[in-house]
Chain A
Amino acid sequence: MMRLAGKLLVSAYALAIYGFIFLPVVVLVLFSFQATSFPIPPFTGPSLRWYETVLADTRLTSALFNSVLVALLSSALAVALGFLAAWGFARHHLPRSGLLRGLITLPLTVSYLIIGMGMLILFNAAGIPRSLVAAGIGHVVINLPLCFAIIYSQMGDHQVNIERAARDLGAPEWKVLFLVSVPVLWPAIFASFFLSMTFSWDEFVISFLLTRFDTTLPVEIWNLLRSGLNPRTNAIGSLVFGVSIVFALLLELAFLRRSRR
């Protein structure tokens, strides 16, 4: 009897938390199919009206394109810088290595708002205009420490031996780097790249502060919020959700296949 009550309690609790976690997403997606102009009950759909509106809105579609572009380029740069630094620190004995590594990971401890504000102040003082490039630079600042930390943590001693073997066989340093270290560390590089992509894709406050006319999708969605509750926001939000889920599934599949092999 006690056991049954315990089991019921446990199931009820888990269901309640799942309910809490899913409630806003379900409401968001459901009312994106609303036929009338207010995304509140009663549900009047299903209708694809707001998806058509959103996809025909060039401001939103170009913001989407900007977001993808900024995410791809800033993540690629963050991974490249992070990988080189991780390799340098792990394979060579540098003076004050601990301090310098700490410096690279420091931005992880500061909120995006403050990072963005500092950059805005500096760029204003230097006369650099607000732009997508500025936002991209900011995204490298927040993602570089992450990429560095992930890749650095995966630099084990067992890889040193393979690299040494390559050098003994006469490979020049750049060949060791690109033909040995990069392939061996591929999972860490891959993981940090996709993590950076997600963070950049979702980042709002730095883009908000550092871009002006051409901007990223989260900022454009923020601008939509000024019109209050609006099924257009539901539709674009659901689209972002859908794209992210597909992305997550692909990632999951890639990692599953790797770990099964």
Chain B
Amino acid sequence: MNESPPGRLLPWALVTPALLWTLVFFVLPFIAMAALSFLEHGGGQATFDNYRQFLDNPSYWRAMVNSLEVTLTVTAISVLLAYPFAWILAEVVPQRLQRLALVLAILPFWTSYVVRSYSWLLVLAQNGVVNRALVGSGLVDAPLQLANTRAATIIGFVHFFVMLLTLTIFANLKQLSPSYRRAAADLGAGPLRTFLHVILPLTLPGIMVGAFLTFVLAIGDYITPQILGGNNELLMPQLIMMQIGRRGDFPLASALAIILMLVVTLAYLLCARWLKIERA
């Protein structure tokens, strides 16, 4: 399509600013971080110590295991909650109300992320709304410890990702041609069989993409676990920030960040492989 007359330089002039920006402010920092991860803290000697620390120190390991446990739990719960909800919005709610129903469902998206986590802290606090309701109704004798727990982190995450997954699954369901359903009905399948053997398999790739997105966004997030989970148990992002903030140990923080990135890349490869098999 190289038919425009103004020579060979123009196309490069168009794409170079964006490429340069990405190189200088994204690729270069990443290289600096990777290089730093092989340096001694304070010294400047080349070393593998930062990575060895991760392998040797059980509390660092624990943070990675915590991160994986929390993130996988969040992903599973969010998908399981969002799918029926998206299905109801797409199939049960009358057509003309669907847009309104969807806009309502994602309305709290518009609070800022930090504020949303804080709001859950209010709800789950020792004297918060949930504990008041539980004690008031006589279900429990004393307020439960809900804030600053892993459960609080999971609830905060699920809240965000149910909204996100509802959006993606809803879009997925709406894209399905109604003729699939008609064909299944013509062939004698009831609603349940149609769902299990037609709708669900057709939307599965979309769900996988949504689940992968959830996994990636949740495992790299610092805000939710820091505000809601507190410091009782650390997740990887908290561990990384702690190295920067309290100890100024950038080399170790870099090594931990790179390990976290490797895990995400691994998840990506698994997901891509699964999608490829599915398509073939």
Segment with Cβ contacts to B, from A54-62, A101-109, A185-193: A101-109
- Which of B10, B112, B129, B216 sits near A92, CB closer than 8 Å? B10
Q: A24 near B32 (CB under 8 angstroms)?
A: no
Interface size on A (CB < 8 Å)? 81
In whole Å, how far is B195's beta carbon from the nearest beta carbon of chain A?
13
Q: A109 near B268 (CB under 8 angstroms)?
A: yes
A8 at the interface (CB under 8 A from B): no
A179 at the interface (CB under 8 A from B): no
Q: B125 near A229 (CB under 8 angstroms)?
A: yes
Of residues 48 through 98 on chain A, the ones whose CB sits less than 8 Å from some CB of chain B are: 81-82, 84-85, 87-89, 91-94
A1 at the interface (CB under 8 A from B): no
0/1 interface trace, chain B 78-119, chain A, CB 8 Å (1 if under): 000100110011001000000000011101101111111011
A211 at the interface (CB under 8 A from B): no
Q: Which B residues lie within 8 Å of A252 (CB)?
A: 103
Q: A25 near B119 (CB under 8 angstroms)?
A: yes
Q: A24 near B123 (CB under 8 angstroms)?
A: yes
Measured CA separation A109–B2 after assembly (Å): 31
Q: Which B residues lie within 8 Å of A13 (CB)?
A: 84-85, 88
Complex: chain B residue closest to A80, CB-CB: B17
Q: B119 near A40 (CB under 8 angstroms)?
A: no
Complex: chain A residue closest to B7, CB-CB: A173
Q: B111 near A91 (CB under 8 angstroms)?
A: no
Measured CA separation A202–B29 after assembly (Å): 23
Contacts A121-B29, A121-B254, A141-B22: A202 and B104 contacting too (C-beta < 8 A)? no
Q: A114 near B25 (CB under 8 angstroms)?
A: no
Q: A114 near B15 (CB under 8 angstroms)?
A: no
Measured CA separation A145–B5 after assembly (Å): 29
0/1 interface trace, chain B 16-28, chain A, CB 8 Å (1 if under): 0111011101111
Q: A241 near B111 (CB under 8 angstroms)?
A: yes
Q: Which B residues lie within 8 Å of A144 (CB)?
A: 18, 21-22
Complex: chain B residue closest to A140, CB-CB: B21
Give the one of B23, B26, B85, B253 with max A CB within 10 A: B26
Q: A237 near B22 (CB under 8 angstroms)?
A: no
Band of interface residues on B: 35 or more
In whole Å, how far is B265's beta carbon from the nearest beta carbon of chain A?
8
B222 at the interface (CB under 8 A from A): yes
- Which of A81, A106, A109, A148 sits near B216, CB closer than 8 Å? A109
Measured CA separation A139–B90 after assembly (Å): 35
Q: B25 near A141 (CB under 8 angstroms)?
A: yes
Interface of B: prevailing SS: helix
Segment with Cβ contacts to A, from B51-59, B171-179, B237-245: B237-245
Q: A-B pairs with CB below 8 Å: how many?
A: 234
Q: A100 near B19 (CB under 8 angstroms)?
A: yes
Complex: chain A residue closest to B18, CB-CB: A85
Q: A122 near B29 (CB under 8 angstroms)?
A: yes
Of all A-B residue pairs in the complex, the 8 with the closest CB atoms, nearest first, are A111-B220, A88-B14, A118-B29, A24-B119, A92-B11, A85-B18, A237-B115, A244-B110
Q: A28 near B257 (CB under 8 angstroms)?
A: no
Complex: chain B residue closest to A217, CB-CB: B112
Measured CA separation A118–B115 after assembly (Å): 26
In whole Å, how far is B192's beta carbon from the nearest beta carbon of chain A?
11
Measured CA separation A192–B10 after assembly (Å): 24
Measured CA separation A193–B19 after assembly (Å): 19
Q: Which A residues lie within 8 Å of B28 (CB)?
A: 122
A150 at the interface (CB under 8 A from B): no
Measured CA separation A109–B219 after assembly (Å): 12
Q: A218 near B123 (CB under 8 angstroms)?
A: no
In whole Å, how far is A232's beta carbon from the nearest beta carbon of chain B?
11
- Which of B113, B163, B219, B240 sits near A21, CB closer than 8 Å? B163
Q: Which B residues lie within 8 Å of A162 (CB)?
A: none
Contacts A21-B162, A111-B221, A225-B118: A173 and B10 contacting too (C-beta < 8 A)? yes
Q: B18 near A113 (CB under 8 angstroms)?
A: no
Q: A114 near B257 (CB under 8 angstroms)?
A: yes
Q: A14 near B19 (CB under 8 angstroms)?
A: no
Contacts A115-B29, A218-B114: A18 and B2 contacting too (C-beta < 8 A)? no
Q: Which B residues lie within 8 Å of A122 (CB)?
A: 25, 28-29, 32
- Which of A21, A39, A81, A120 sits near B17, CB closer than 8 Å? A81
Q: B111 near A244 (CB under 8 angstroms)?
A: yes
B4 at the interface (CB under 8 A from A): yes
Contacts A115-B26, A201-B112: A125 and B15 contacting too (C-beta < 8 A)? no
Measured CA separation A166–B5 after assembly (Å): 13
A212 at the interface (CB under 8 A from B): no
Q: B108 near A25 (CB under 8 angstroms)?
A: yes
Q: A202 near B21 (CB under 8 angstroms)?
A: no
A165 at the interface (CB under 8 A from B): no
Q: A24 near B103 (CB under 8 angstroms)?
A: no
- Which of A23, A225, A240 sits near B112, CB closer than 8 Å? A240
